Amino acid sequence: MAKLSSGERLTAALQRIDDAAGEGGRACLSVYREQALAAAEASDARARAGISLGPLDGTIVSIKDLFDVAGEVTRAASKVLFEEGKVAAQDAPIVQRLRAAGAVIVAKTNMSEFAFTGLGINPHYGTPANPADRARVPGGSSSGAAVAVGDGFCEIAIGSDTGGSVRIPASFCGVTGFKPSRQRVPTDGAFPLSYTLDSIGPLAKTVAECAAADAVLAGEAAWTLDVAPLSGLRLGVAQGLPLENLDDTVGRRFPEALDRLQRAGARLSYEKLPLFDDMMQVLGRSSILVAEVYSIHKERLARRGDDIDQIVRARVSKGAEISSADYINVMRARASLIRAMDARLADLDALVLPTTPIVAPRIDEVSTPAAFMARNAMALRNTTIANFFDLTAISLPLPRDGGLPTGLMLFERNGHDRRLLRIAAAIEKVFS
């Protein structure tokens, strides 16, 4: 059967976005209908002429609402930012790279306001419902990105990940989410959450699609994703903090996944990592993320605090309690711990842990601030480790057997992104 053209696939995606009974209105805050149709037609014309701009040529792509598009207000799913009306002078570098690679950008996707929660709730533009169970949160902050992939509004979604904002929604919605080494993809033209921790990565149905998108985002040449051999692969199973208080579904599926990996030939070792405790001690003293997000929004809070999601506002406001000395001390402590973790992982091919210790909560389960904060902390707990230690990471969907999605997360040392993707592709085959 011949592959559908880019135009045909785009038409199908737009029909799903436009379906009044679906999540398109909540997941996609801007739809680039005319521009996308023109881009798809151009890609199909190239294909007929035997010309290709690379693996993303003609691929239907969405971008998170925090990326600059020339001539538009970058609102980061905030009505305050939208009303401030600051118009982007040019496309963000990653948007420029996507266009140059022939990607068909169909929409900007919804998110947690300012990208500052892990559940994906948005009181201003609505919360896109989880494709696996419409009563549940999608995960955040790249909520619309995961729903867009899961519901077929796009083939690849581009999100951001500061503490898990790509991997949490990927886990909750049953798709793949990749966090690259932070320095590989430019964050210019992306509305910031944390200058230190922000990274940009893709969500898609497969590792191969994530790898193709990642190369474009990083400005690298396309490469062949050859699958790493599983036999003899050294996988360290993280002990301690990442395995505490797993819910029943995650607590059952994670060991089942480990068993399948071992039977496929992987060498598992059970790794105690006191560095996790060191991280928690550092974060108990201060927060790089909170200090930096407060510096971004301090004046905005004073002017328009009542118009900001009140949970986001409360979290941002805590930055007022952080002194410059605390911030500097935490930054120095983190730098030391990053070096220690890099050395600790040198003898492993990857570290394995559950992406999130819980499945996606029901929306009505997080309707109060206390309940929201408790579930938000659990959603972020494991993914945050990769950002703190400056690692690259990926979340892979585990077999669901008709139940709710869960994710298997792999960590790799900074700069070893391609090796991680090769390992992830091998593990993906085990579970597919």
State how far the Cα of 174 lies from the Cα of 223, in Å rounded to an integer. Answer: 26
DSSP letters, 119-169, are S---TTT--PPBTTBTTB---SSSHHHHHHHHTTS-SEEEEEESSSTTHHH
Residues 43, 112, 165, 199: which is the catalytic one? 165
Between CA 159 and CA 166 the distance in angstroms is 6
Q: Is 108 a catalytic residue?
A: no
Residue 165 catalytic?
Answer: yes
Q: How far apart, in Å, are the Cα atoms of 129 and each of 24, 143, 305, 311, 372?
A: 10, 9, 27, 19, 16
The string of DSSP codes covering 15-52 is: HHHH-TTSSHHHHEEEE-HHHHHHHHHHHHHHHHTT--
Please confirm whether the linkage preceding 141 is cis (ω < 30° from 0).
yes
DSSP, res 191: -
Which tokens is 392 given?
């690259």
Catalytic residue among 6, 78, 141, 194: 141
Select which of 6, 43, 62, 64 is catalytic. Answer: 64
Residues with Cβ within 8 Å of residue 88, at least 6 apart in sequence: 68, 69, 70, 71, 72, 73, 74, 189
64 belongs to the catalytic site = yes
The residue with tokens 């929201």 is 372
Gap between the Cα atoms of 145 and 64, Å rounded: 7
> Which residues participate in catalysis according to the annotation?
64, 141, 165
